[in-house]
Structures are given as C-alpha cells and as structure tokens.
Amino acid sequence: MRAAIIGIGAIAGMHARALADIEGVELVAATCRTEEKGQAFAHTHGCRWYADTARMLRREKPDFVTIATPSGAHLEAVLAAARRGVHVICEKPLEISLPRIDRMLAAARRAGITLGAIFPQRFNPVVAAVQAAAAAGRFGSLAVASCHVPWWRDDAYYGPGRWQGTKRLDGGGALMNQSIHGVDALQWIAGAMTPGLEPGANPVESVVALTAVRSHDRERLEVEDTCVAILRFRNGGLGQILAATSLYPGQLRRILVGGRDGTAEIQEEQLVDWRFRSALPDDDATRARFGAASSTSGGAADPMAINYACHTRTFAAFLAALREGRQPELDGLEGRKAVAIVTACYRSARTGRAARVDDPKPAA
C-alpha cells in the first residue's frame, strides 16, 4: 500500500519509522511548506517531498495518508484527502474542537473513505491487558478510574514561533496535548464496563475541572500547564485526571482502575498492581510479563522519548481493517470521545460548573 505523510513535524519521523516496519507498505511522499526540512526528510526516509498537499495527492495517488500537522490543522488535511478519495489516519487529538471533528467525520462519510485516529496507548500491551480485564468484568462495578500525567515541558517548548501552547493550533495545553492519551485510555477502559453504550456515545457523563498556568510565562502561554478534573462515568463510577506540564522534572504516567472485585495500576509500561478477588491461572504470568520497570520515560520531560512500536501497531491495525473492508475499531467516531471529554473540562473550568460531555449528533 502506498502511504504519504501530511505535515513534517517532530512526530512525522516516528510515523515514517513505524510505516517502514510494516510489510507491504511503501512511504512515497510527505508534505510541508519548508523546502529544506522537506528535502532532508525525503532523503532520510526515501520518499519525495511536496510543498503542496493537493499536488502530492494528485500526483502520487497514495492509498492512505497519515496526518502529522499541528492539531488545529488536521481538518484541512482530512478534507484534502477526502476530496481525492484517500483513506486517512490522523494523529491525536483528532482536532481541537468538536465542530471541526464533526466536519471531518461528515467529509469522510460523504467521500466513502475511512478515517482512523491515532491513540498509541490502546496498543500498549499493558493498557490493553487492563482493558481486557475490564471487559471481562474482573473489577466488578467500576469505583474509580484515574490518570495522572505529572509531566514537564521547559520554556523553549512554548517559545516564540512554536505552535504548542497556542489556542489556534494546540487548542489547549497539558490536557488537550499531552494528557489526551490518558484521557482516551480511561474512557476506553470505562467503556468496556458500561453495558449498552451506543457507538460513538461517551462513557463519561460529566466533568468538573480547574485549570491554571503555574510554571510558565502567563503572558505568553495561551493555555493551561496544569489541570485537575473529576469525572462521573455513565456506569456510576468516578474518575480523576491530573494533566500537567508544570511539574519539574516530570514523572511517568500512571493509570489506576478498580472496583469491588479488583484493582490494577499501570506506571507507563509497568504493571505495579494486579489483584483480584477471584484469581485466574494466568495472573502470575501477567504480573511477570509486565512487572519490569518501564524502559521509556513516555515523554515525561522529552516529547520524543517514547516507544514508536505502539504507532506501528496502530497503523497495522488500521491497514488490516482497510484490507478486510471493515471499519477500524479506533475510527474517527471513537477518536472523537477524548476531545469531547477535554472540551467539557475546559467548559467547566471557564464556567465554574459541572459540564456534560457531548455525544455526536446522528448523521444526516
């Protein structure tokens, strides 16, 4: 399958390496406006550079594209691909607002293309193990699901000329950008514990949140570097989110899920707790498999200090769905859920009141 990348930012190199690990995929092109950067990328990854996305799509005719532009420019890239009938898999967050995401979903539907979302933590084996336990009912009724992302970003990360930390292109700060992986993991796990959830419906019912700028220049940073939120899930469980780029020097992401019948806790790639009222024969093997300390900092202080193997698995699952003529499990509608939770948190922080999480409207 012929692949192309729209947007040559830091994450694009990771996309290229992940695609190169998948048999039967050829990266043919990538686009960005800066020739020097584009030519260097093309030389490194053995593809062609284009300054114009529409021209690249017309000339190269890729089977699918990955989108690695700044978050607030995802919509335009999806619309361009949809006009040429090209399948799309898009970096997190799918976009920075629900109306923009809904335009992407509508365009994909009209064009008959598949729109997929990139949330690599779903393909982190330890996170998948916790989600499978949730789906099997091993925790009992959900009591608490929490995610702590106590990360750090230095002043240069939000410096002049950077799109990070801007409302127009980042759409938010520590919650929308860095912690959205944990937000998606929480809703994915809780969704497995919510019977009767309709496709696209969010397992989070409402949120109460506070945001602040605590460790960066308030005059320059347009969004939060610190957020705390409380969630109410539709199944009656409660949740917590800590999202921060304000905590020097940065610590590993932690996810905790538990109820009357069991508890599991993850620290990045390590399973630090896995206990259930009713033990299973393979529980010891699960503890042994995931018990070693994490081999990566997960981006706690360095955005690129992550394991791209989960990107490879994400792309492979998307391509398997394309080849089999089915919708991927992590499609655009599924990718919308995390942004719905994040935007509800921002609405709560602005108003000082609880905010309901918006589900998608039925397709026209």
pLDDT number for residue 364 = 56
Beta bridge partners of 265: 256, 273
Residue where the block lists tokens 């498999």: 289
6 within domain boundaries = yes
Contact 265, 253 (CB under 8 A): no
Round to whole Å and give the CA distance between 303 and 105.
28
Phi-psi category of residue 176: left, alpha or beta, with phi > 0 → left and psi -120 to 50 → alpha? alpha
361 within domain boundaries = no
Both 246 and 341 in one domain: the answer is yes
Both 32 and 72 in one domain: the answer is yes
12: containing domain: 2-120
**Looking at the chain, how many residues does it have?**
364
Written as one letter, the residue type at 89 is: I
pLDDT number for residue 256 = 98
235 within domain boundaries = yes
Single residue among 68, 97, 120 that ends a domain in this structure: 120
316 within domain boundaries = no
Contact 170, 70 (CB under 8 A): yes
How many domains is the chain built from? 2
Both 229 and 140 in one domain: the answer is yes
Both 220 and 344 in one domain: the answer is yes
Single residue among 120, 146, 180 that ends a domain in this structure: 120
255 within domain boundaries = yes
Q: What is the pLDDT along the chain (364 residues), one digit of tens a residue?
A: 999 999 998 899 999 999 999 999 999 999 999 999 999 999 999 999 999 999 999 999 999 999 999 999 999 999 999 999 999 999 999 999 999 999 999 999 999 999 999 999 999 999 999 999 999 999 999 999 999 999 999 999 999 999 999 999 999 999 999 999 999 999 999 999 999 999 899 999 999 999 999 999 988 899 999 999 999 999 999 999 999 999 999 999 999 999 999 999 999 999 999 999 999 999 999 999 999 998 877 889 888 888 899 999 999 999 999 999 999 999 999 999 999 999 999 999 999 999 999 999 876 5
- CA–CA–CA angle 255, 143, 251 (5° rounding): 20
| Both tokens assigned to 16 | 């290229």
Residue where the block lists tokens 């959205």: 180
In the chain the first and final C-alpha atoms are separated, in Å, by: 32
Both 99 and 125 in one domain: the answer is no
